[in-house]
Structure 1
């Protein structure tokens, strides 16, 4: 909670330390009413906060004040297992995380045959919200499948199909193109069930030949090359932090171990 007394740190200094803007520009953001602390707009330059407990946002986008937290995007190649210590000695994520001092873990999993966007972090609260299907964070996949996918098949995927572990439906499904007996299909869903994209497409008669996750919530893979890793930029980080904070205490109750295990492979 903000205070004009001597405790805490001045809000403009906290914003500057977090890389939001210079001290002077941060002061202007506060005076313009663009900064919130714990959901309340703060306009007094003398306001002080506790960075360890207070939640700050600028223009509605959450700001991370904890410099120990790290957020990375990986374009996971085919053949890499989504584990930090594969019990069978197969290629795993350690080749990407060992260069960092922090204990990073993956947000959910992609099976070895699936490539694409995978988030690595040491923020357990955020990871739990992004990965767990109960929070409804959508993931978008591009699948190359055998056969010509029709409008009727797409409608069936969104209307719902019955699998051995219960009914499932895609949030969105669209055909991107067909060529040489194959189709490119874009599927968006929030389910975290094991190998769900492959099983859904197999169930409608179009087995997957190649599968890539292109989007995870507000994050897009973009031009990041296979096997490449990068830090999230400020806008990306703000977007996913805002999603995590929207779920309040339910998200903050999670820990890193739970987050890593919360989403089976796609």
Structure 2
């Protein structure tokens, strides 16, 4: 992500749009309040604090943040959260005729696509967007974006098993360790256990394979969190646009990741990456 330099009030160039107008158009605040934010030194353009009210920027290329939170300037981009129900494949068009994601995107004119995948029997948080650059950051393991899952599993999980998940287990495609693992409940009467796993891996059906490797096959699996996004109370089968706060958090994460982590070859995120948790 690169951008041009903001123009100060003394510059002869009148190209670009005044910064306070850009902030107001983006819904950050009224133009008057936006001016106060600029004068107070709370606004940065391409990482540099701008305090001059006459400053002009290029909204198509410059990156703006307020109090360290990224501002969405490109209003053509859409960011949608879906609580994917079980029985739906993570594809915009399934060649086998199974229920797919198209039914959840009818309310938006833009062509949205899923970021990563959840397998058909896994429910929970799935991001739909037309922002390919952000999709790459969210989907690619090299950027380390974490995902949190709640798994209902067979058997009584012990604290020792939780430690094993964090230390790492050996799978057919190599070792894997949870970033975090927590036992939420464990029944002594054979009612199974609830385990919370935090991972940044994008390997295929990784949660199910990890739990099977420690002797506790998954009965139900839901993804509750993806990076800074939380599923909250969104009902299964419902989709909604991200709030301004959620968009800001997501864009801030993406900008931070791309500025500090070398990206590997991008996966094809137009219809989800090859992985499915």
TM-score norm. by structure 2 comes to: 0.92
Instruction: Please list, as runs of the form range in 1=range in 2, the aligned pairs for 1:243-254 lying within 5 A after superposition.
Output: 243-248=253-258
- Number of the residue aligned with 2:84: 76
1:25 aligned to 2:25? no
Q: What is the aligned counterpart of 2:210 among 189, 200, 224? A: 200
| 1:245 and 1:251 in contact (8 A); partners too | no
Distance, in Å, in 1 between the alignment partners of 2:163 and 2:149 is: 17
- Number of the residue aligned with 1:155: 163
Give the unaligned 5+ runs of structure 1. none
Distance, in Å, in 1 between the alignment partners of 2:135 and 2:46 is: 21
Instruction: Please list, as runs of the form range in 1=range in 2, the aligned pairs for 1:226-245 lying within 5 A after superposition.
Output: 226-245=236-255
Q: What is the aligned counterpart of 1:265 among 253, 273, 276? A: 276
Deviation track 1:147-202 (CA, whole Å, cap 9, x = no partner) reads 00001100100000100000000011111012342000000010000000000000
- Number of the residue aligned with 1:185: 195
Distance, in Å, in 2 between the alignment partners of 1:215 and 1:121 is: 17
Distance, in Å, in 2 between the alignment partners of 1:138 and 1:168 is: 14
Deviation of 1:50 (Å): 0.2
CA RMSD after TM alignment: 1.7
Deviation track 1:14-50 (CA, whole Å, cap 9, x = no partner) reads 0000011111111111011000000000000000000
| 2:115 and 2:269 in contact (8 A); partners too | no
- Number of the residue aligned with 2:48: 40
- Number of the residue aligned with 2:7: 3
TM-score norm. by structure 1 comes to: 0.96
1:118 aligned to 2:129? no
- Number of the residue aligned with 2:184: 176
Deviation of 1:131 (Å): 1.1
Deviation of 1:259 (Å): 5.7
Deviation of 1:230 (Å): 0.9
Which one is further off, 108-117 or 227-236? 227-236
Deviation of 1:99 (Å): 2.8
1:134 aligned to 2:136? no
Distance, in Å, in 1 between the alignment partners of 2:273 and 2:70 is: 24
**SS in structure 1 of the partner of residue 221 of structure 2:** strand
**SS in structure 2 of the partner of residue 94 of structure 1:** helix
Distance verdict in 2 for CA 1:135–1:260, change over 3 Å: farther
1:55 aligned to 2:63? yes
Deviation track 1:31-90 (CA, whole Å, cap 9, x = no partner) reads 110000000000000000000000000000001100100001000000110000001010
Deviation of 1:115 (Å): 0.2
